[in-house]
Structure 1
Amino acid sequence: MATLPPAHRPPPGPRGHGREIHTLAEFDAALARSGSLAGLRIQSVDLTDRTFALLAAVTADAVFLGCPMEPEAAAKVRADGALVFPPVPELPFDPYRARLYTPEELFEGIAETGYEATPDFLAYAWFGRTRADGDILSSMLRSLHDDAVSDALDELLDGAGVVGVMGGHAMGRGTEAYAGAARLGRTLARAGLTVATGGGPGAMEAANLGAYLAPFDDAAFASALDLLARAPSFTPSVTDWARAAFAVRARWPGGGDSVGIPTWFYGHEPPNPFAGHIAKYFANATREDGLLARSTAGIVFLPGAAGTVQEIFDNATPNYYGSRGAPTPMVLVNRAHWTTRLPAWPLLEALAADRPMAARIALVDSIDEAPEALERLGK
């Protein structure tokens, strides 16, 4: 199974032109090489213990994004011509963050005090207080955060074969549909693909769970499903739902990697703890487009409602116009759902007629047919 590169990948790398500094070790290494930070972007690195180094370094044209430093050092680098974006006090998130979230970070404190004390909930509460107040500072901080998350996501997925799995949040643990979505995630991960989902509960969690359990045997897979079924939904208690997931992670540590891309815009949907890397956004439109655009190896659409229908046609649009190059393979699962209950398939077929995308779409009856259909469409 392919393993995603670590979230703290040091420069130089294929993105950022080797200019981004994400850790104190990278900061020290850059100074050791040349004594200069000129032109570099130092992102969310605590530099309060590097005053002497900053006073001695060349910092012209450097950019410091949310880096705590002593007043003397800050004055010096500004005088050199560096651009300094200072940390913002009392925020429940870092708008300049250099890496994606982890489940442990977003759910910190879940075992002791419950979901309402976690960083994830506190960020959502801040969003709820500020989203409608018209304060340009709040909207700017949200935009900075989301741009930083996009940058970290691009760095993580650079060169990966990403398959998106879309589906509804209402799919309950303990159901056959949930088990099927988990099998799908496991099959894709075992084929060396990176599973990416909307990062929430239901079908999204199931696919991330399958990727997490990819290194383990069938017995572990079945046992994990049984454990999760004891807390079938994130309602009425997100705390119980999340604790069940972390119990599975504790029993089978070191699972496979995958990506979740959720949003605080739908704050009633918590992120699921099975995605090893979580790109959480404030702006849902940015999140939706980014998830679809990064699913370069194809997308599987499981039965869902309005959100999944929107995602089908959000992805069909660039396929129709060819704005992203070759059309992305699209597999819709459950013929009855997509032809009768929510007849998206007939419209998708009509759009595809006489277009290159016609050879890149498929409708299958069973979720277990989806991996083979994806492979066929991708040839």
Structure 2
Amino acid sequence: MLDHEIESLEEFDDVVEATGSLSGWRVQSVDLRERSAALAAAETDGTVFLGCAMAAEAVVRVQEGGGLVFPPVPELPFNPYRGRLYAPDELFSGLAEGYEHTPDARSYAWFQRTKSDGDVFSSMLRAVHDDAVSDALDEQLVGARVVGVMGGHKLARDSSAYASAARLGRALARTGHTVATGGGPGAMEAANLGAYAAPFEDGMLGKALEMLSSAPSFEESVGEWARAAFEVREGWPGGGASVGIPTWFYGHEPPNAFAQHIAKYFVNAVREDGLLARSNAGVVFLPGAAGTVQEIFDNATPNYYQSRGAPTPMVLVDEEHWTRTLPCWPLLQALARDRPMASRIALARSVEEVPETLARLTG
């Protein structure tokens, strides 16, 4: 499928200069107020402009030429037509004035006000936003070997389990995988931190963990928790990339600042399914509670019914947790019996075993 999306002013100029036509293109969230002449000269039959700022006369000209214009929506804390994933700096902009002033917190507050008001316009904006995020996520992950890392959100930064999850993220990134998590705190943040630390010397991670221990949990102060992460990023700029896929449905859990690319959704079901479906190189399940248990079987179900291709590798970490505390492993084995997925599941005793286990399952 050809890419017919224009997501920057540079791309807009390149297309117009090369062809003189915008017919059939989708232009997402590009400020075109200085491009009225180009819009007047270009063919716009079948062009769709999503959230593009334009002069009033340019809007008339585009519509007369057969184009559709979906104008920007004023006074929203988010852009429903965005063409790119979020970055931590964007979601936490204004953090110095307090977390409540950030776009992330204001978007959550808007969601809380509108999620049950029955307003079809609000629900449409959420749907358009989430679809735009999914499109941007697919573009970001083209050709990537994605390993999803699942685990509990309450894992404190000063715990040994958090450090282990960070080492796992680092190991996966260093073997060429793209680490993808639920994008929140706890084990999710730790895996994103590990991927961020991957390009640096090994000692960097220990120093980062020490700095983060000053704000071990987001529950006491989201602001202090987030600021500690940005201090690490400032100390070691240009870290490794990874993906976080959080949700405003659980907006009381902030996104973490170590995922370079953030696909944040309003609808949690779309987020959960999308994270698992895009983990094409395997999913690792660290110790967790109800949410992680749900994710195990959300991933196991399509594997169980897989009729084409190979099931997604699944690695559960910590034998004690998954066989006794929350005995998901015996049930997973029972489901896998006599199914193709039987050769694609494994129980690892520690995170150190995970890279080799994934390699064996995919080999």
> Which residue does 2:12 correspond to in 1?
27
Identity %: 69
Structure 2 CA distance for aligned equivalents of residues 362 and 55 of structure 1? 60
Q: Which runs of 4+ in 1 moved over 2 A?
A: none
> Which residue does 2:49 correspond to in 1?
64
Structure 2 CA distance for aligned equivalents of residues 63 and 257 of structure 1? 32
> Which residue does 1:354 correspond to in 2?
338
For 2:192, the aligned partner's letter is N
Q: In the alignment, does 2:357 pair up with 1:373?
A: yes
Q: 1:324 to 1:143 in 2, by over 3 A?
A: farther
Q: 1:324 to 1:188 in 2, by over 3 A?
A: farther
Structure 2 CA distance for aligned equivalents of residues 187 and 114 of structure 1? 34
Secondary structure (helix, strand or coil) at the match of 1:18 reads coil
Partners of 1:318 and 1:324 within 8 A in 2: no
Q: 1:314 to 1:85 in 2, by over 3 A?
A: same
1:193-246 per-position Cα deviation (integer Å, ceiling 9, x unaligned): 000000000000000000000011122111101000110000110000000000
The size of the alignment, in residue pairs, is 363
1:70-119 per-position Cα deviation (integer Å, ceiling 9, x unaligned): 11110111111111111111000000000000000000011x21111000
**What displacement does 1:325 show?**
2.9
Q: TM-score with structure 2 length normalisation?
A: 0.99
For 2:228, the aligned partner's letter is A
For 2:343, the aligned partner's letter is A
Partners of 1:93 and 1:123 within 8 A in 2: yes
**What displacement does 1:51 show?**
0.8
Structure 2 CA distance for aligned equivalents of residues 47 and 302 of structure 1? 47
Q: 2:37 aligns with which of 46, 52, 71?
A: 52
Q: In the alignment, does 2:101 pair up with 1:113?
A: no
Structure 1 CA distance for aligned equivalents of residues 78 and 205 of structure 2? 34
**What displacement does 1:326 show?**
1.1
Structure 2 CA distance for aligned equivalents of residues 218 and 81 of structure 1? 57
Structure 2 CA distance for aligned equivalents of residues 73 and 298 of structure 1? 48
Question: Tell me, which stretches of 5 or more residues in structure 1 are unaligned?
Answer: 1-14
Q: 2:327 aligns with which of 343, 348, 352?
A: 343
Structure 2 CA distance for aligned equivalents of residues 308 and 324 of structure 1? 26
Structure 2 CA distance for aligned equivalents of residues 45 and 57 of structure 1? 16
Correspondence list, 1:260-339, <5 A: 260-322=244-306, 325-339=309-323
Q: 1:38 aligns with which of 23, 31, 36?
A: 23
Structure 2 CA distance for aligned equivalents of residues 219 and 189 of structure 1? 16
1:264-320 per-position Cα deviation (integer Å, ceiling 9, x unaligned): 000110000000000000000000000000000001000000000000000000100
Q: 1:90 aligns with which of 75, 79, 86?
A: 75
Q: TM-score with structure 1 length normalisation?
A: 0.95
Structure 2 CA distance for aligned equivalents of residues 97 and 37 of structure 1? 19
Partners of 1:174 and 1:225 within 8 A in 2: yes
Structure 1 CA distance for aligned equivalents of residues 44 and 208 of structure 2? 52
Which deviates the most, 333-342 or 200-209?
333-342
Structure 2 CA distance for aligned equivalents of residues 239 and 180 of structure 1? 25
> Which residue does 1:236 correspond to in 2?
220
> Which residue does 1:177 correspond to in 2?
161
RMSD over equivalenced CA pairs, Å = 0.8
1:322-370 per-position Cα deviation (integer Å, ceiling 9, x unaligned): 0673100000001111111111111100000000000000011112111
